[in-house]
Structure 1
């Protein structure tokens, strides 16, 4: 395991890397239709890239309303705290921007991960792109 670091990404400049990671995780692995993966909110979101050394291995985004999404880590780097580093960076940036509450829709199998970071389930289970999800919230309303 090399050094993991996370930085705020530029949607225009880092687009190919962000797309490579999300296409691998969501479209190839989880069979999310491309038309559901890519949306107009990417243009206004704050994007993040996680690196091992200088190789991008994970990504996430933060919307202006505090919604966190598209948290994804390439298969070979899962279980190595990359997701923790990504989520901590996103939460830190949200708080820096005055977004005291963060929300996300979590795949049901990932809820324990988000709960470790202070998120609580606030909805019943629902399907999104055919995958069971729940809504989760962290912080003050």
Structure 2
């Protein structure tokens, strides 16, 4: 499996499908806030298995940071290292954008995963879509 940078509308729709499955169906995020005003300015990535999208994430420049967002893996495909693959590709895209630091808002249940990727927690806990989050940063 390989991470693919989204290049067309079908691949973008595939990224949205994974996000809808994970965030809206599984985590009950309201669908009207899942797709937002930053979609077009973001670079999206998708992992496919046998032609089906199974993981995704996006990055955009925000206040001098590479802001990683909407990182998710279908429940059936977790624990196989796909999240790390998505992170590595997003950071690679960010370095090509000449960004030297990265930021993300992590669900607290995933905080240890991001710590293993080199991220440090820099905020207290807050709610986003009624899910506890913390802000994390990494300098590269």
2:128 equivalent in structure 1? 128
**5+ residue gaps in structure 2?**
none
2:108 equivalent in structure 1? 108
Q: Whole-Å Cα distance in 2 between the matches of residues 27 and 44 of structure 1? A: 22
Label 1:71 to 1:11 Cα distance change in 2 as closer, same or farther (>3 A). farther
1:5 equivalent in structure 2? 2
TM-score normalised by L of structure 1:
0.92
Pair 1:62 & 2:53 matched: no
**5+ residue gaps in structure 1?**
none
- Whether the 8 Å contact between 1:11 and 1:43 is mirrored in structure 2 is no
2:138 equivalent in structure 1? 138
Point out 4+ residue stretches in structure 1 off by more than 6 angstroms.
Answer: none
Q: Whole-Å Cα distance in 1 between the matches of residues 31 and 6 of structure 2? A: 21
Pair 1:79 & 2:76 matched: no
Once the two structures are superposed, what CA deviation does each residue of 1:76-103 show, in whole Å capped at 9, x if it has no partner?
1001101011111111111121111110
What is the deviation of 1:11?
A: 5.6
RMSD after superposition: 1.2
What is the deviation of 1:16?
A: 2.1
- Whether the 8 Å contact between 1:11 and 1:47 is mirrored in structure 2 is no
What is the deviation of 1:111?
A: 0.7
Count of residues in correspondence between the two structures: 137
What is the deviation of 1:53?
A: 4.2
